[in-house]
A and B are shown apart, each in its own frame.
Chain A
Amino acid sequence: MDFDTYYEASYDRVRRAMTLTFRDPDLAEEIAQEAFFQTLRRWKKVSLLDHPEGWTMVVALNKGRDLHRRRVRQQAKQHALIPSSTKMSGESRVDDRVTVAELLETLGDRQREALLLRYVTQLTIPEIAKVMGCAEGTVKATLHAAIAKASLHAKETFNVVD
């Protein structure tokens, strides 16, 4: 697979995942661009992976965390902290978006990473373990904790019953 094909197939999904995670479409765009640039730089090695998108997703999350923190610091300096949710646009299914974004905000970095790899990138547990560089058991435990937190959040928000 060449990079351009991979880029066309994966870019939008990564951008959407970052929009959900950081609740800022402009920031998500910047993060996605940067993540795919890093992927291109290392394409010879990344292309040999079973799931290059998992690698790009992790790079995007790491980059996003840095950029997000920097922006928060800048905004704090300017005393003009605007709630990022106000930048969300579109009328349909806004609730779903806000809920997932709020859910992701309540999670730790590793839990957020695991959830996105599992439910957005659709990786299996062994694949997530490989991408995250940890044991499968660790991934299972991380996902379990993240899902438990997510379920609780979903019940409180939508009164979902199992």
Chain B
Amino acid sequence: MSSTNQIQDLFDRAIASVPTGATPSSRVLHQRLRQRSVRARLSTISGGLLAVAISTTALVVGLTSSPALAVTLFPKTNGSVSAAQLAADQRVMISRLHSVGFTNATVRVSNGALVVTNGPRSLASPTSFLTTSPELLVRSVICYAGPQTGPVSSGLLPTSCSSSKYDAPKVSGISIPATRRDPALAAFPTTTPAEDAGSPDRWALLPVLDGGKSAPQRDLVGPTLLTLSSKVASATATAHVASSGGWIVSVKLNKAESQMWDHVAERYFHREIAIDLNGIIVEAPIIEPDSLTFTSFDGQMQLLAVSKTDAYDLAAALQSGPLTVPLTTQSSRPRTSTALAVDVSGALRFFGAAFTLGHRNGTFSAGYIDFRTSSGAVSKILVPRSGKFTAHLAPGTYSARGRLAHSNLWCSVGADKPFNIVIGRDLHLEVDCVAI
């Protein structure tokens, strides 16, 4: 007998020796298969619904938080600022941010500054209306001027036109006479916003806002007749229909200022008035040129803004009232060897990744980037999900790398190359985030 046959025989005997058992009915298997199919179908449906719900939530959260960033606003003053003043500014900022649609924005007082999170990107701009107390200076228009050309004159700005034929129009009918620009003013430089704010009672040569589409016209304007700076009754921004583009902010003044505005307007009936905002003429209406008698404006005023953001920010700033202390993104504190603001911005754009992760985790959160000096000291900087952020670092050589809390993305600053921070020199760095 061959070994193969012996093995076969051994297996046959062994198999036969296993006690016979009852074969369970195949119905059990069929039933189990049916249950499994139902479970699989339910699981697919509920999984699909869950995925849709999570995706929608993540998308909504992602979209609403997309423009979010943290901005530190410092008091724009050389003097000391009390806690009460900062608290008042905090309330005003919250009101402004909410009125421009950032209801999730938070403002907290930290180390003598206001830290705004989840606010708009425009907040970081030094020209943002949200961080200013807009003052509307009402001035009379004396004559028109073109852009500055030729050698710059260092002489005193004239207080009248070089000839009466260049005087701003005085209208007593529906037809407005064409007025030429005074060529004598072409040599004079434009009055800067700082000069305008510093000397509101002097004559000024100010640019006229026209939607930013053509060469700027300038107007020679007289001393400020009226300053409108208190909280207005209402302000709304609407799209401008004029060919010059831009956005209109319709303002309804409060009762007291409405009366003052009417008083000035009546004095300048049929003449041109300039509304000066931060050194720019945002509207220059001729007072009721088609009326024979003056009628009250009832507090109505229209201002022009170049962009939609500016229009909404200006409306919010006017409606919330002035800040107790003006704010700025630049620290007015003297730069010492222990603190330097570094503006780090750029490529923190990973909405897709955040969306995917939101899909998985359902939440977004900020993370940290470690700024490490050559000696090994680490400054852990909280960074927003996107946009600009500012880090206060001592001068020195740094390398930076970090990981956002909610993602698998590693972020590095300066492409992992050490970079130097020097006192008095601004540094702009890009943050790159890559999947690991």
Contact = CB atoms under 8 A, between A and B. Distances in A.
Residue from the set A29, A33, A119, A120 with the largest chain B CB neighbour count within 10 Å? A119
Given A154-B6, A154-B7, A25 B19 contact: yes
Given A37-B32, A154-B7, A154-B10, A20 B18 contact: yes
A151 interface: yes
B17 A147 contact: no
Residue from the set B2, B13, B17 with the largest chain A CB neighbour count within 10 Å? B17
A146 to B, nearest CB: 9
A156 interface: no
B38 interface: no
Contacts of A56: none
A63 to B, nearest CB: 14
Interface string A1-27: 001100110011101110110000100
Contacts of A37: 29, 32-33
B3 A151 contact: yes
B204 to A, nearest CB: 86
B238 interface: no
B33 A147 contact: no
B29 A20 contact: no
Interface stretch (B20-28, B138-146, B193-201): B20-28
Interface in A77-118: 89-90, 92-94, 96-97, 99-101, 103, 115
A36 B14 contact: no
B19 A96 contact: no
B33 A97 contact: no
Interface string B26-52: 101110110010000000000000000
B15 A20 contact: yes
Interface residues of A, number: 40
B21 A162 contact: no
Given A12-B23, A20-B15, A120-B15, A40 B30 contact: yes
Given A11-B23, A12-B21, A151-B6, A93 B29 contact: no
B33 A16 contact: no
Contacts of B19: 25, 89-90
B30 A96 contact: no
A31 interface: no
Question: DSSP class of A's interface residues: helix, strand, loop or mixed?
Answer: helix
A148 B30 CA distance: 42
B435 interface: no
Nearest to B4: A147
A69 interface: no
A8 B24 CA distance: 9
A37 B20 CA distance: 21
Contacts of B29: 7, 33, 36-37, 40
B292 interface: no
Residue from the set B4, B6, B18, B19 with the largest chain A CB neighbour count within 10 Å? B18
Contact of B14 (A33, A40, A41, A97): A97
Contacts of A148: 3
A15 B23 CA distance: 9
Contact of A33 (B6, B17, B18, B24): B24
A29 B21 contact: yes
B26 A119 contact: no
Interface string A130-159: 000000000000000001101100100000
Given A3-B26, A40-B29, A96-B13, A19 B4 contact: no
A16 B3 contact: no
Interface of A: 3-4, 7-8, 11-13, 15-17, 19-20, 25, 29, 33, 36-37, 40-41, 89-90, 92-94, 96-97, 99-101, 103, 115, 119-120, 147-148, 150-151, 154, 160, 162
Given A17-B15, A93-B14, A151-B6, 18 more contacts: A7-B26, A7-B29, A15-B21, A15-B23, A16-B15, A20-B14, A25-B21, A29-B21, A33-B28, A36-B29, A90-B17, A97-B17, A100-B10, A119-B8, A147-B3, A147-B7, A151-B7, A162-B6
21 contacts: A3-B26, A7-B26, A8-B23, A12-B23, A13-B15, A20-B14, A25-B18, A25-B19, A33-B24, A33-B29, A40-B29, A41-B36, A93-B16, A93-B17, A96-B14, A97-B18, A99-B10, A100-B11, A115-B11, A150-B7, A154-B6
Interface of B: 1-4, 6-8, 10-21, 23-24, 26, 28-30, 32-33, 36
CB-CB nearest 9 A-B residue pairs: A93-B17, A100-B14, A119-B11, A16-B18, A96-B13, A151-B3, A97-B17, A7-B26, A96-B14
